[in-house]
Amino acid sequence: MEKLQKQTSKTQQREMEFLKSMTVPPIRSLLESAPPSVAVLGAYIDELDSQLDENSHKMDECLHEILKTCNKLPGNKQYSSPKEAVNHVISTHIIEKDSCYDPEAEDVLTILSHVISVLENHPGSEEKLLQDLLSLSSKEGLSLPCKSHQGSNPMQSVTSVNAVTDNLEMQISQQWDQISLHFRRYFTDKLKKLPIDSTKPDLDLFEGKRMEYIHSLLALYPSDDILIKYQTLRSQQLERCFETLLPEMDSEQYSSMEITKNCRELSDIILNMIDEDFVIFNSGIFKKSFNTARAMHDMYLEKFSDEMSALVEDIWEDIEDIVNKPRKSSLAHANQSPNSEQGELEQNSQSLPRIYMESILDVVTSVLHIEEHVECLLRCAAWDPAGVTSKRVKRKGSLRGVLKTTSSPEIQRRPLSYTSDDMSFSENFNTSFGSMPSSLSDSIPAPKVVERTRGEERLRWEWKLMFKKIAPDLAKFVGLRIRNLLKTTLDSELGDWTRLGVLHTESVPQELWGGKLDYPKSISKSVSCFMTELDFLLPFARAGTEGSILNCVRLAFVDAINLCLQNFHIHLTKLSSDVPRNAPMKTLYILLSSSVYIKNHLQHYEMVLTGDDSSKKNFSSLHKNYQELVDALFKLTVEIHNNYMATSVLHDMESYNWKDSKEFQEGERCSFPVQMWNYHLRGLCHDLWTICSPRLSQDIYSQILHNSLQIFSQRYSHSKPSYRRTSQYRSDIISILLCASELLFPACSSVSMYLDPGSSQLPHYSIHNFCSVLLADMAIVASPLEMLYKMYKKGFHELPELQPTGGSTPTAEVIGTNTHWLSWIQPTIFQTGHKHYFDMRTTTAVYFHCKLLLSQPDIDWSKVLQAYIMKDFTLPILFLTQSVTGDSPTQANNDKNLHQQKVSQTFSVITRVLTQCHHFKESVARVLVPVISRCNEWKLLDTKTLIGQDIMVPVWMETVFTLLDPFINSVLKPVLVSVVLDGNSGPPIRPIMSVIADLPCGCRPQFTPPSSRSKSSESQKELMDALMRQMVSYIADNVFSIPNTVCILMRTLQEHCTANNIKTPHHCAGMKVIGTCLRLRLQDKHYLERVTGLNLNHQQTDTLRSLADCVYYVLINTKAKSNATPQLAGKFCKENKVWVQSKIQAITSYLNNVMFEMNDHTILEGATNEYMKQLFTLAASNILDSPTGQADLTCLYGLIANNFSWLERQFDIQFILPSSGVENIPQFTLSSEVDQFKEFNACKEYEMIGTRKFDHPTIESFNINWQELLSSDLGISEFGFRSLLYNRHEMQDGAYLEEQEKKPVETLKSVYENEPRELG
């Protein structure tokens, strides 16, 4: 506790120092792994409060300044409220009337003519030109005159001067129409060319382009018209997708069954489109308030359901043709009865090809997929006061002030209720410039945002109407198909059972094994076929919600299941009655697994069809019946094995003839039943592990092991061996305990069950008690008489004190427990008093845990994770160092490449898993630093070392790069957008302000004329400067997003570099890692093309390579110069010296912060076994939720399984028994593939105890310190001691005694008088 308190205080101190040294960081950096201390949260909240107070104070000052400014404006009015003052200024147009002079019409015409010229001569420069045009208002404050809307016909003018003015205004209007039309076509074409795919690349460069292009259109046209145009465009794109994936019926490629396979791809494309538009519609860029769910329905869902409806009708027509063809041929029989017609219908439905139902199912699943996704989106958009911020997306500037006369009255706005049936822009903007109804205005006030309830955004998609005509027939077909399948499968299985007496099996998919419902590994073929068909038809029932058109299909599905599975229940019960009389035990295991499989599937169907609504359970009684069947088969299995044990396995007259005066097998082996018992349980374990559910099989195995040990303890507690049979008695018990120590591993699911079982952990607690009884039996009955006499001659409670022997004993300073027998039977592995891994040596603890893990019936994810974290990450350090320093293949380059790939995969998997263990933030540092030290690669972090050219990237560094990839990709994304997408925006253009001499008011323009130097070199420098500034700023601003595990690794690397006198850039090894990663990623064309999904040309590749060298220099060297210094990077650092140093300081101060210093203590110190189990279960659950979590943990399990023999040798584990046969020295392997179904070699298994040989000479010569054993706590009472004492052959009446034996026997008999009434 003191260590934990010190650790907590140090952590609080470091966090406080971190808060004091930096401006308040993102709350995410403090809450990433675990909640910080109360003191740190208090300091954080205090800092936020101070910032809020400061912001409030600044807002008050700003409001007072606004009030003072308004009171100084013309009007001689003084206001006391800022709100009243601002409202007055807006309503009276004071600021507009007091603005600068309007530009002359000739200047406006000159500007627009220049814009048209640029558009015609420099195609592709539209985006630059639009930004320059918008800057007239945002930077220069320039307002250009336009024609007032009092009249639109120039013939209405009354003077020649006015006529000239009208002509100019008409020219301005026409030119602006031409410009806006060009912009509209350009940005609309850009929207059309945005990729539409079913999947997104890792780095989507087009993610923000859709919003950007819509912003550009909104700066030119009214919001309502852009919305209509955008919806039209998306409809056209969707139609093209339909034409590609769903060809027309009259086309040569049309096949209803084939094209339904494209439904899932089409649904994925639609969902991507919906996701994109969902973001846009909820961003507020369209001023019109509309229902998002309705918009999605009109744009995508309704059209998709129409296409699917036509497809379903076409498929069903084919089905009707197949079903009705036999029926029509049978109409010639006039005497056909209704019963025969029903039978024919069933026959026809059974003969219907499955491919047609698969086609309809493809349609149903794709529609359900879209519906669930859209409903999830709408739930995310529901009002949540604690959810997403209400900050509006920043919009581009408007051209309203560019071409509108500032002194003219406000243009009439289009009403919000305006809608147009015409989807084209051309007819909406065919009027003159001055009379356009708000064509360039975006001043329409946004609708008032009010809290929306969930009901306003509810999806109403009646896609089930497509099944209105076929729903009754579909329901009938589903019911008949299930019933016919039941008849077929049961008839086939009963036929095989009657003729051959066998039960064919099928393997359950591995992803289903175990789990929360405890799925089996193998089931009967009939159950597999039947339940597979139910799984196939389940989506139809799932779609049939109550009150819907498909509800009849759901009811037919439920009724058929209840009927058919009840028959299956009878069938399984009948077959189980033939075991073991007419069938082997494996048949019973298969029946048990099949019952469990059906029971679990019923629970699954219940959850899918009714959810948590307990009032609508469809299979409650059926589930109960199967639960009772599982319990009955479980008890039957245990009872049969108990009978086997009592009557066959443990029965041998010769072996248990204890009164025989002749030695058993000349004293060379133990009893045959003991070895047969070991073999039987090993075979039982194999059968259960390969067939039954993991937890259920472990319960059966544990119960049988318990019952058999109970028989042994009772038998040997009452046995009275003769003098010649005493050695057999001793060998039997030693063999039983050695076997039990190995057989107990598969029975235990936790370390506490093996080393420290509680009284509630049954049957494990009783198993240890029986083993302790057997050890006591051997100690009293088989120990040397002189030793027994010496220890117990004064009475049971008067044991003599032992003199210290100078060495440790299994019982030193420990009072006996029911697990102390392990320390006597396996003294090289177990020590008395060891109840936790903390009590054991590192090698012993890791070996024990790996053995326990591999003994489980299924992969225990929490134990896999614990194996790689326990004892200071011993296992991953050992695996990684061995993978990089061990022998690699030398035969061929292919073998070397394959080996290197496996090494990289091993590093990636281990570090990826450890990074997700948020309770062990130092895991990656503790694992990789020993690898670097072992490889002696600290020099790679030196500032002068350039990795990637002459020096290959080591595997550990590439692994760190992989962990940094999310952060690096976020840095690269805006750069790649600028180079790859925006780099094709055409050549530099002449700025608009350069075409007029001066502003009309005489103000100095903000425009700076371009330099007269070389255009190509200057533009290249500007591009590189902008990209370098962008990257360095992003790294400094977002360094908080680097995972804490990587930050701790970087600080640890710096500490070791300092200790090894390695000079790192800016005294920060993390800067070297980040800079190297950025450089190599930018130079790797294949990597960039893979993450972006785009093809890069030579010019883009060269630009990125130059940028890689420049940004590497800025981050790493900054000041140092050499011949290899990039010229552009050197100039950038010189021109922006202070700025660069401030950014570098911000990055390094964070990466080197004391917050990331490694602690000497972990969360596991002093933790109980139960706490560790819960901790690792939670961590493993989080990892399994990740996309690659299960595959990663399976790979880690395979590494342990395939290298377990190698680990035994590495850990130098000493065994009592010799190895089994002549084996080669185990070699380390990086293979992670595991054979889940190993063959059972009966001859080999009979001669094995665990992984060692069942060696009888070794057992006969087993060394026991009888004095220590007799003086230990054997866990028996005085009555029990007296009973066992009189089981010895010396204590029997009429026993032959040597002279030296008479006195001890007489003394013991006098002290422990035999009382028949007690013994009886």
Q: Which residue has the tokens 């990039």?
A: 1126
Q: What is the pLDDT of residue 311?
A: 86
Q: What is the pLDDT of residue 799?
A: 65
Q: Is the dihedral of CA 421, 426, 429, 430 positive or negative?
A: negative
Q: Mean pLDDT throughout 1017-1027?
A: 82
Q: What is the pLDDT of residue 859?
A: 94
pLDDT at 20 over 60: no
Q: What is the pLDDT of residue 149?
A: 35
Q: What is the pLDDT of residue 164?
A: 46
Q: Virtual CA dihedral for 727, 728, 730, 733, nearest 10 degrees?
A: 170
Q: What is the DSSP string of 219-256?
A: TTS-HHHHHHHHHHHHHHHHHHHHHHHS--TTSTT--H
pLDDT at 436 over 80: no
Residue 236 in contact with residue 197, Cβ under 8 Å? no
Pull the structure tokens for residue 526. 């009939």
Per DSSP bridges, beta strands 505-507 and 522-524 are antiparallel
pTM higher than 0.75 for the full model? yes
Q: What is the pLDDT of residue 110?
A: 82
Q: What is the pLDDT of residue 506?
A: 93
Residue 1054 in contact with residue 1069, Cβ under 8 Å? yes
Q: What is the pLDDT of residue 1017?
A: 64
Residue 879 in contact with residue 850, Cβ under 8 Å? no
Q: Virtual CA dihedral for 128, 134, 136, 138, nearest 10 degrees?
A: -120
- SS3 of 947, please? strand
Q: What is the pLDDT of residue 411?
A: 33
Amino acid at 800: P
Q: What is the pLDDT of residue 1006?
A: 60
Residue 1243 in contact with residue 1254, Cβ under 8 Å? no
Q: What is the pLDDT of residue 153?
A: 44
Instruction: pLDDT band for 636, please (50, 70, 90 cuts).
Output: very high
Amino acid at 1289: H
pLDDT tens readout for residues 1095-1132: 989 989 999 999 999 999 999 986 666 666 788 888 89
Q: What is the pLDDT of residue 99?
A: 61
pLDDT tens readout for residues 1135-1183: 889 999 999 999 999 899 888 888 877 788 878 888 888 999 999 999 9
**Average predicted confidence (pLDDT) for the chain:** 81
Pull the structure tokens for residue 117. 């010229």
pLDDT at 514 over 70: yes
pLDDT tens readout for residues 255-285: 777 788 888 899 999 999 999 999 898 888 8
**Which of 310-319, 430-439, 675-684, 1262-1271 has the least mean pLDDT?**
430-439
**Which of 396-400, 893-897, 1102-1106, 1243-1247 has the least mean pLDDT?**
396-400
**Which of 516-520, 533-537, 931-935, 1234-1238 has the least mean pLDDT?**
1234-1238
pLDDT at 1252 over 60: yes
Residue 424 in contact with residue 387, Cβ under 8 Å? no
- Closest C-alpha among 927, 910, 962, 879 to residue 1195: 910
Cβ-based neighbours of 729, under 8 Å, separated by 6 or more:
658, 716, 719, 721, 778, 781, 782
pLDDT at 448 over 50: no
Q: What is the pLDDT of residue 51?
A: 84
Q: Mean pLDDT throughout 1001-1010?
A: 58
**Which of 130-144, 681-695, 836-850 has the least mean pLDDT?**
130-144
Q: What is the pLDDT of residue 869?
A: 94
**Alpha-carbon separation of residue 260 from 247, 255, 264 (angstroms):** 11, 9, 8
pLDDT tens readout for residues 1205-1216: 999 999 999 899
- The pair phi, psi for residue 1249, each rounded to 5°, is -120, 105
Q: What is the pLDDT of residue 12?
A: 54
Q: Mean pLDDT throughout 920-930?
A: 93
Q: What is the pLDDT of residue 155?
A: 42
pLDDT tens readout for residues 176-198: 888 889 999 999 999 999 888 87
Q: Mean pLDDT throughout 99-124?
A: 79
H or E segment at 505? strand 505-507
pLDDT tens readout for residues 929-986: 999 999 999 999 999 888 887 788 999 999 999 999 999 999 999 999 988 887 665 5
Instruction: pLDDT band for 777, please (50, 70, 90 cuts).
Output: very high
Task: Report how far residue 1199's alpha carbon sits from residue 1230's, in angstroms, rounded to the nearest whole number.
Answer: 7
pLDDT tens readout for residues 386-425: 444 434 444 344 333 333 333 333 333 333 332 333 333 3
Cβ-based neighbours of 537, under 8 Å, separated by 6 or more:
357, 478, 481, 482, 557
Q: What residue spans of 1084-1203 are helical by DSSP H?
A: 1085-1092, 1098-1116, 1127-1135, 1137-1151, 1169-1184, 1189-1202
Q: Mean pLDDT throughout 45-73?
A: 85
120 in the Ramachandran plot: left (φ > 0), alpha (ψ -120 to 50) or beta?
alpha
Q: What residue spans of 977-1068 are helical by DSSP H?
A: 1015-1038, 1044-1059
Triad 1286, 1291, 1296: Cα angle to 5°: 155
Q: Mean pLDDT throughout 150-157?
A: 41
Task: Report how far residue 349's alpha carbon sits from residue 405's, in angstroms, rounded to the nearest whole number.
Answer: 77
